[in-house]
């Protein structure tokens, strides 16, 4: 799929989405609901990032992930996948106002290695009498991202190092207020990463999406839904393991806003449940089935520019074991 065709496809879908929100376009959204957290499992992090809020922000994410050794091969023996590693990723969002809309550019730089967290995760599971999930059968602090189909290698990473991930450029149109509003938009992901080591898809991808939120006193509810398209090159190895080139994602969250300067009263927390369809068909369930993930975000009124939190898989094991993150916002801070 060419860049022109993909752009036309995204813009056409965006026009349809805009029609759904047309009656709600009253005022420019201020203090909008924040960008939902992504799924950083290696098979998915090369796909487009979630539709952003459109603010200047710098985040640091640390992810530990592993696929059980006894689940690495498909039942028919045609597919083999190995996933074990730790990733430190610096995520930067740069946003500018464009009339009533916003343009957001997201860049990502990842350091991938065997890491140091394996023993700590092992100890955590042991202290709380939880199963190790196959960790007893895998070497500690190992880096292996590998996927193959019928003997052909789709992607492989065993050497630690830095990787520039794919670059996301988004157009966002917010509406409403911080108390009740939403946004819709579209984004293009440019192939600055490499498909061969899972730092990108190897093509120019896109998405359209929309979000709505509403507050009830100190409570806030939020939902966001997206449709993703993959613009893979004609001879991309990924085509051997993908059943489809488009899929859907959604997030739903409930948040409590802190008030006042008190240590306890100033705490805010948001819990989000994320769903992601899988475009893969490898015969390996933990690549092929739709994934569920939980995200926990904490903030405090004394630190209005900061966010802290973690993400875990939510029962389907199609997300990393854990991702911890901290984020700092520049410019005006929403109340």
Per-10-residue mean pLDDT of the chain, 335 residues long, equals: 48 44 33 82 94 96 91 95 94 96 98 82 67 69 94 96 98 94 97 96 97 96 97 94 96 95 94 96 93 95 95 82 94 58
Q: What's phi and psi for 123, nearest 5 deg?
A: -65, -40
* Cβ neighbours of 320 (radius 10 Å): 25
On whether the CB atoms of residues 173 and 14 are closer than 8 A, the answer is no
Cα distance between residue 232 and residue 33, in whole Å? 32
At residue 88's C-alpha, the angle toward residues 87 and 93, to 5°, is 125
pTM comes to 0.86
Residue 28's pLDDT is what?
34
Residue 264's pLDDT is what?
93
Domains annotated for the chain, with CATH where assigned, are: 3-329 (2.40.160.40)
Q: Quick one: which H or E segment has residue 13?
A: helix 3-21
Residue 118's pLDDT is what?
67
């Amino acid at each position: 799929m060419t860049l022109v065709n993909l752009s036309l496809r995204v813009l056409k879908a965006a026009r349809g989405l805009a029609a759904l929100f047309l009656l709600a376009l009253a005022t420019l959204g201020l203090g909008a609901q924040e960008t939902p957290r992504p799924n950083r499992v290696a098979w998915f992090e090369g796909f487009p990032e979630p539709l952003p809020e459109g603010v200047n922000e710098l985040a640091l994410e640390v992810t530990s992930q592993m696929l059980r050794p006894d689940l690495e091969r498909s039942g028919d023996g045609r597919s083999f996948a190995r996933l074990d590693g730790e990733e430190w990723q610096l995520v930067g969002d740069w946003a500018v106002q464009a009339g009533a809309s916003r343009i957001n550019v997201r860049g990502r730089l990842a350091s991938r290695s065997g890491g140091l967290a394996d023993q700590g995760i092992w100890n955590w599971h042991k202290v709380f009498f939880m199963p190790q999930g196959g960790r007893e059968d895998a070497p500690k602090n190992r880096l292996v991202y590998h996927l193959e189909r019928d003997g052909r290698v789709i992607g492989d990473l065993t050497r630690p190092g830095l990787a520039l991930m794919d670059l996301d450029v988004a157009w966002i149109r917010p509406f409403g207020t911080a108390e009740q509003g939403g946004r819709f938009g579209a984004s293009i992901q440019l192939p600055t990463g490499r498909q061969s080591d899972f730092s990108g898809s190897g093509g120019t991808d896109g998405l359209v999406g929309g979000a709505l939120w509403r507050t009830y006193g100190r409570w806030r509810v939020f939902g966001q839904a997206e449709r993703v398209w993959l613009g893979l090159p004609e001879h991309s190895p990924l085509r051997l393991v993908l059943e489809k080139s488009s899929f859907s994602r959604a997030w739903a969250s409930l948040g409590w806003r802190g008030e006042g300067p008190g240590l306890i009263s100033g705490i805010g927390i948001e819990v989000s449940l994320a769903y992601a369809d899988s475009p893969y068909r490898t015969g390996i369930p933990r690549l092929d089935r739709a994934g569920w993930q939980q995200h926990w975000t904490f903030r405090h009124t004394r630190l209005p520019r900061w966010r802290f939190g973690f993400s875990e898989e939510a029962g389907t094991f199609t997300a990393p074991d854990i991702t911890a993150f901290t984020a700092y916002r520049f410019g005006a801070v929403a109340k």
